[in-house]
Structure 1
Amino acid sequence: MREQEQLQQSLWSPIERKCLSLLQQRNTKTSLLQIQAFMLRNALETNLNLLTKFISICSSLAVSLSQSDPFGGIHHARRVFDRRPQRDDTFLCNSMIKAHVGMHQFAESFTLYKDLRRDTGFAPDNFTFSSLVKSCGVSTAVWEGQEIHSHIIRIGFCFDLYVSTALVDMYAKFGKMGRARNLFDEMTQRSQVSWTALIVGYARCGDMDNARKLFNLVPDKDLVAFNAMVDAYVKLGDMGSARNLFNEMPERNVVSWTSMIYGYCNNGDIDGARSLFDAMPEKNLFSWNSMIGGYCQNKQPREALKLFHEMQSNTSFEPDAVTIVSILPAIADLGALDLGGWVHRFVRRKKLDRATNVCTALLDMYAKCGEITKARRVFDEMPEKETASWNALINGFAVNGCGKEALEVFLEMIREGFKPNEITMIGVLSACNHSGLVEEGKRWFKAMGEFGLTSQIEHYGCMVDLLGRAGCLEEAQKLIESMPYEANGIILSSFLYACGHSKDVSRAERVVKKAIKMEPGNDGNYVMLRNLYASERRWRDAEEIKTLMRRNGAKKEVGCSVVEVESRVWEFVAGDRVHPQWEGIQSVLEAVADAHEGTRH
């Protein structure tokens, strides 16, 4: 094919070769329009090779256009194609179909094929059907895929290697593994891609027995097949099998390593993930994002920030939307507001604030750092909002003790036509809880059915806490007993704290037995009852609680606080003296204590 193309080009005129040279350069939308004018002026549109080249390049330019005109390039390419002088050239028609497929324009590719068959002498070939079948698979267009399959059988391309492989892949994407396997078994010739398509299909459906059997039969396993199997085991949480297969791989690429890192992070083995991350011979942005996100997911925000700084300092990678969404929860957990402000400025500079998930993460960060006004400003400036954005703002007002404002946002959300979900209602009930709005809480708890929502155990927990804080212990206890769920440790602890707050010792004693049985290592339950006994001067009972606490292995968590000073986050743990400036801090604290004591006298 290449030699034939070179032979044709050797017969071209100098003006045709000049046009080809222009097309092969790095082009913009403007330069392509100039090349089109050059072709029209010199009547070069009759050269189908040049016209096909122009349409292909124009179509591919679509991905780099502005968001306001995402398919401008392919639209112009289609207009040029529709005015083509020769109607039935297979190569040219295939190029236009392939361009639509490449831009995920399934309807356009399928409609174009039918129009060409109906209105021209277009004769489809194996490249036509490979593109169309791929389009059906990606778009999960089952009916159209079966129709194309019928065309393939009727025209006689069902034994073509490329077409039959595409069909196997299409049916695998549809989840019709029986049909895919039958087609695979009927193939007179198979390629590495054919084997991999079926393996990936089985793996995607969770049928790892068939996937592994087929994988073991592959004559020459390629990297794609290995990666597909590893990824499938990772998604199933079978890290033992994933690791064994990873170790078998004759070669690995960044996809292999990143998939394993993601798996270890998802299974809570953050040390295993970091070991793999450090051993990677080559990293990309996905690798860094997976590891940063893994630290956040496993409640290690300090390590997430360290890695984020390392990525900025030691690599050429620039944070993208995924990085930002991953790191903002860590910033919120540590209260690193200065760093959060820097991230916000970076987001604006790189125009990432057009992404709804980035803006939602930003407002959530500001709210958790106590900057609820900035959180509201981010929300108001969002170009588009989704339910998660409203939820973040409602919860932000709730955790900052602004219950009435949270309810106002909730009502505004409903007026704007957004349907609340279970997370919305947790935010609403939490807002009522933090602000002591008992009647409002009861109202919206009962109203959940009107929104088509079923009260989950988390919603009952919010109501128990709300009633308990308000001193309505009898009502809270009845709600616990009427729940369609068994009370969990959180609800029992919440109710126990309410009993302690109301000095209801007898009720607290009954609750603590259930709570300790369910969570023997939860130190808070013991401490709550011990303090309650101490307030009643029941010292013997208080000592018995301490003994029970030791017997069950429950240890009181050491207190810790975090503060940001000059963009650096410092952590202080009770009784810890490892801080490099501990002596200076201690002397300042003693001076403050002395000064306070002096003012008292």
Structure 2
Amino acid sequence: MTQYMPLFRSCSNLRLVSQLHAHLLVAGRLRHDPLPVTKLIESYGFMGSPDSSRLVFEAFPYPDSFMYGVLIKCNVWCHLLDAAIDLYHRLVLEKTQISKFVFPSVLRACAGSKEHLGVGKKVHGRIIKSGVDDDAVIETSLLCMYGQTGNLSDAEKVFDGMPVRDLVAWSTLVSSCLENGEVVEALRMFKCMVDDGVEPDAVTMISIVEGCAELGCLRIARSVHGQITRKRFDFDDMLCNSLLTMYSKCGDLLSSERIFEKIVKKNAVSWTAMISSYNRGKFSEKALGSFSEMLKSGIEPNLITLYSVLSSCGLVGLIREGKSVHGFAVRRELDPKYESLSPALVELYAGCGRLSNCETVLHVVGDKNIVSWNSLISLYAHKGMLVEALCLFRQMVTRRIKPDSFTLASTISACENTTGLARLGKQIHGHVIRTNVSDEFVQNSVIDMYSKSGFVNSACMVFNQIKHKSVVTWNSMLCGFSQNGSSLEAINLFDYMYRNCLEMNEVTFLAVIQACSSIGSLDKGKWVHHKLILCGLKDLFTDTALIDMYAKCGDLNAAETVFRAMSSRSIVSWSSMINAYGMHGRIGSAISTFDQMVGSGTKPNEVVFMNILSACGHSGSVEEGRFYFNLMKTFGILPNSEHFACFIDLLSRSGELEEAYRTIKDMPFLADASVWGSLVNGCRIHQRMDIVKAIKNDLSDIVTDDTGYYTLLSNIYGEEGEWEEFKRMRRAMKSLNLKKVPGYSAIEVDKKVFRFGAGEEPCFQTEEIYKFLGSFQNITLDADYLQMNQ
């Protein structure tokens, strides 16, 4: 066989291997000699022909453990992981003794998917039984397998049991931590590695630098850079490129520029890293300038460079420059079928409003790059162009382009908040079920779609069918309950999560705080606040929600305490505190808070002015209301319909009906139902039916789905005995399918909230409640009788 070894080494392509295979077959060397068979299996596998490797293997009557190992290794090379694992199981059934050469390849196959972790653990058990668990290569393979499947605890156990921890073992563990998002743990391991006397190499340092970039901590980044300089690794171009990116992700663009200038031989990777860094810092013009310098220096850009430059053009809407880059790519034939650049081109043209260009790109791409279709559908949905997003999805289906989970999730989100599109959302949900493309991302989108369309029962049904729920799924259902007025259900769901020690985050607490706020459950809100502090999840958003909750539950002191304790305040925080004072009639405190906000450098927005006007309305402060209504223009804010409605409500309730009417007539746009309703309500309070009759024609032109508007008018006409107008209002409600929303009352007993509403199903202890009310009514009648006889 030794005479054939040079021939195997000279086989540089599949044709030569096939010729050698035929020669050995004719010579009869493939029936009893395992060495040429093993070399053929290896050669075919290396050339990317695993089927030929298997045919040679199956033709040999007595394959040994080593031959199995070679075929398993070939399958792993060709990413046929299931086939490799099946071969291992077959080997276990056939052979009692397994060569240790087999185990690293099998472990690499198991590392390829989390689904194979169970098999990997069994292989680990066999390794221990075989007594080869002290082999350095096998130990490193075990580290990789556990790390790549996300089982860091077992990876650390293997590492702790290693008698000798060399650079490869340390680097493998550090990389595993980074791959699983445990950046802090990776840095801790790196420190232990240095303390243990193991010198890192440039490859290890690249991993550490990339970890620092993900962490985004400038102090740690500078410390790592200092160590690289001391180890004299800063001459390595790849490491310099990583450092450049690290500093840009940590917000220190100046350091990125300095490192870039120090690189002597700048290649396409260096220039691309610098361009991407400028993009990350929103310096699109500098990115384009770097691209121009790159071309002048004679460096040929690659596809990643062009992608970054197109993104730069898209960020600032430079359509001419973007088209120029597009033309450059076409002339150089860098991406003739738009397989790589299409997502960036779609974003560029869509961002510049050139939708026809987007669709042209998509037609060229076809089904080769679904990312481009997804980008445009997502962009349409994000911009509120819901019909366009759904039409694009329909085109995909018509062209037989199979949508993936991202496509379905984006399309489903386009059906949210619109009752007319909810039916289409249900059809897409049906498509998800039929095609079995559903994953967590899609399921959460379905829950959101049903919730935001008002079908909370359908959302709950989908939620209950999900077996493995992440914190995002729980939050989707919590928000769904809270948004649809099912606050008790939201609180109960939160209680279930807390009792079962499920994962929670800031969004979880935000949803339950809003639920407590909706039903005025102060005790429950305080309990949630306590748990929020214990979990260490307090942030700007939860603090703002707590201010709103305490204010709506009547505890203004607690709202003030939360507000004062905030280390930083957003405009929403200021707005919530102003609204809290307004709800409680504290106009002086509301004005003082407004002045503090302006004094802190925070410019008020539309919502802040809405809240200060509402505060003036609650306290009847007409002069202050006029002042803040006129002040809006000073801050460059034009009053919208809600501002006018609030101001007119203030004037109308205070009896300034003529001024309110003049204000409506002077509005720069037509008044809607809320504006006219504010005036009509003031007329009712001050018994000015003459004004109602004078504006009768204006009122009759209003068409709205606000039941309160029709109810107010019908009640006024009924009180005045104008039954024809009363009937007309009721008919208008009926024709629009509107029903008066029933009111309800809620009471909190023993930390449980009970709700009472007219026409609702009997609740807990209904009979006892009515008996008590009956006896209370009798006591009241007796008291009235005694008072009359005195």
User: Which range, TM-score by smaller chain?
Assistant: 0.7 to 0.9
2:744 and 2:757 in contact (8 A); partners too? yes
**One of 79, 97, 102 as aligned partner of 2:244:** 97
The 3 A distance-change label for structure 1 pair 531 and 458 is closer
1:227–1:256: 8 Å Cα contact kept in structure 2? yes
Letter in 1 for 2:503: E
Say whether the 8 Å CA contact 1:262–1:294 is kept in structure 2.
no
**CA 1:325–1:180 in structure 2 vs 1: closer, same or farther (change >3 Å)?**
farther
Question: Residues 134-533 of structure 1 correspond to what in structure 2 (within 5 A)?
Answer: 134-176=276-318, 177-190=322-335, 192-218=339-365, 221-222=368-369, 224-235=371-382, 236-238=385-387, 239-241=389-391, 243-244=393-394, 250=402, 252-253=404-405, 255-267=406-418, 272=425, 273-274=449-450, 278=463, 284-286=470-472, 289=475, 292-293=478-479, 299-302=484-487, 305=490, 309=494, 312=497, 318-353=503-538, 355-519=539-703, 524-525=708-709, 527-528=711-712, 531-532=715-716
Structure 2: segments with no counterpart, 5+ residues: 1-76, 78-135, 138-162, 175-184, 426-448, 451-457, 786-790
Whether contact under 8 Å (2:550, 2:556) holds in the other structure is yes
CA change 1:183–1:517 in 2 (3 A) is: same
For residues 405 and 598 of structure 1, the distance between their equivalents in structure 2, rounded to whole angstroms, comes to 45
Judging changes above 3 Å, is the alpha-carbon distance between structure 1 residues 244 and 345 closer, same or farther for their aligned structure 2 residues?
farther
Q: 1:308 to 1:212 in 2, by over 3 A?
A: farther
Aligned partner of 1:80 among 227, 234, 248: 227
Checking the alignment, whether the CA contact within 8 Å between 1:356 and 1:386 is kept in structure 2 is yes
Classify the secondary structure of the residue corresponding to 2:309. Answer: helix
Match of 2:172 in 1: 24
- Whichever residue aligns with residue 406 of structure 1, its letter is A
Query: For the structure 1 residues 16 and 61, does the alpha-carbon distance in structure 2 shift closer, same or farther, using more than 3 Å as the test?
Result: farther
Unaligned runs of 5+ in 1: 4-8
Establish whether residue 123 from structure 1 lines up as the match of residue 265 from structure 2: yes
Q: Shift of residue 356 of structure 1?
A: 1.7
Deviation for aligned residue 1:56: 3.4
CA contact (8 A) 1:138 1:173 kept: no
Secondary structure of the structure 2 residue equivalent to 1:572: strand
Kept in 2, the 8 Å contact 1:137–1:174? The answer is no
Please state how far the C-alpha of 1:384 moved relative to its aligned partner.
Answer: 0.3
Deviation of 1:385 after TM superposition, in Å, equals 0.9
- 2:761 and 2:629 map into 1 onto residues whose CA distance is 48
Where 1:552 maps in the other structure, the secondary structure is: helix
Q: Which amino acid aligns with 2:289?
A: E
Contact 1:200–1:229 (CA<8 Å) still a contact in 2?
yes
Task: Give, as a single letter, the amino acid of the residue that structure 2 aligns with 1:552.
Answer: A
Structure 2 CA distance, aligned partners of 1:442 and 1:403? 14
SS at structure 2 position matched to 1:561: strand
Q: Do the aligned partners of residues 243 and 53 (structure 1) sit closer, same or farther apart at CA in structure 2, a change above 3 Å counting?
A: same
Contact 1:563 1:569 in 2 (8 A): yes
| Comparing 216-225 and 384-393, the one that deviates more | 216-225
Moved more, 15-24 or 199-208: 15-24
Percent of aligned pairs sharing the same letter: 24
Which of 543, 549, 553 aligns to 2:729? It is 549
| SS of corresponding position for 2:603 | coil
How far apart in 2 are the matches of 1:520 and 1:220?
45
Q: 1:249 deviation in Å?
A: 5.7
* Counterpart-to-counterpart distance in 2, 1:19 and 1:283: 39
Counterparts of 2:299 and 2:622 in 1: how far apart (Å)? 71
Partners of 2:509 and 2:408 lie apart in 1 by 22
Offset at residue 425 of structure 1 (A): 2.0
Q: Separation in 2 of the partners of 1:530 and 1:180? A: 65
Deviation at 1:382, TM superposition (A): 0.6
Offset of 1:286 from its aligned partner? 4.5
For the 8 Å contact 2:284–2:315, the answer to whether it is kept is no
Give distance in 1, aligned partners of 2:363 and 2:466: 27
Amino acid at match of 1:244: R
Q: Residue 487 of structure 1 aligns to a residue in which SS?
A: coil
Superposed displacement of residue 359, structure 1: 1.3
2:205 match? 54
Cα distance in 2 for partners of 1:587, 1:258 equals: 53
Deviation, structure 1 residue 547:
1.9
Map of 1:6 onto structure 2: none
Cα 1:281–1:31 change in 2 (3 A) is closer
Larger Rg: 2
**TM-score normalized by structure 2?**
0.64
Q: Deviations over 1:329-350 (max 9, x none)?
A: 3432232434433432233223
Deviates more, 1:123-132 or 1:19-28: 19-28
Query: Cα 1:446–1:137, aligned 2, differ >3 Å: closer, same or farther?
Result: closer
Higher relative contact order (CA 8 A, sep 6+): 1
In structure 2, how many angstroms separate the alpha carbons of the residues matched to 1:291 and 1:180?
45
> Contact 2:244/2:256 (CA < 8 Å) preserved in 1?
yes
How far does the alpha carbon of each residue in 1:443-483 deviate from its partner, in whole angstroms, 9 at most, with x for none? 33333344444343333322221121111222222222333
Q: Which moved more, 1:105-114 or 1:237-246?
A: 237-246
Shift in Å, 1:93: 1.7
Kept after mapping to 2: 8 A contact 1:336/1:564: yes
CA 418–285 in structure 1, closer or farther in 2 if over 3 Å, else same: same
**Mean CA deviation greater in 271-280 or 334-343:** 271-280
2:327 aligned partner, one-letter code: N
TM-score, length basis structure 1: 0.81
RMSD: 3.8
Q: SS of the counterpart of 1:518?
A: coil
- Partner SS, residue 484 of structure 1: coil
- 1:35 CA displacement: 3.7
Cα distance change of structure 1 residues 58 and 339 upon mapping to structure 2, 3 Å threshold: farther
How far, CA to CA, are the matches of 1:301 and 1:402 in structure 2?
A: 31
* Equivalent-residue separation in structure 1 for 2:575 and 2:489 (angstroms): 25
- Structure 1 residue 20: Cα displacement: 4.1
**How far does the alpha carbon of each residue in 1:115-174 deviate from its partner, in whole angstroms, 9 at most, with x for none?**
x14xxxx21233323322322333332232123212432344435344344434443444
Give, in whole Å, the separation in 1 of the partners of 2:471 and 2:370. Answer: 20
Distance 1:597 1:363 in 2: 43
**Structure 2: how far apart are the matches of 1:590 and 1:360?**
43
Secondary structure in 1 matching 2:341: helix
Secondary structure at the counterpart of residue 763 of structure 2: coil
Residues 577 and 285 of structure 1: is their aligned pair in 2 closer, same or farther, counting only changes over 3 Å?
closer
Instruction: Label 1:186 to 1:324 Cα distance change in 2 as closer, same or farther (>3 A).
Output: farther
One-letter amino acid of the counterpart of residue 772, structure 2: V
How many angstroms does 1:372 deviate by?
1.8
1: CA distance, partners of 2:628 / 2:704: 34
Give distance in 2, aligned partners of 1:322 and 1:155: 50
Give the aligned residue type for 1:553: M
Q: Tell me if the contact between 2:613 and 2:643 (Cα under 8 Å) persists in the aligned partners.
A: yes
Amino acid across the alignment from 1:182: G
Write the deviation string for residues 384-432 of structure 1: whole angstroms up to 9, x where unpaired. Answer: 0122211111111112222232223223333434332332222222111
Would the aligned equivalents of 2:673 and 2:709 in 1 still touch at CA under 8 Å?
A: no
Aligned mates of 2:472, 2:359 — CA distance in 1: 27
Corresponding position of 1:591: 775
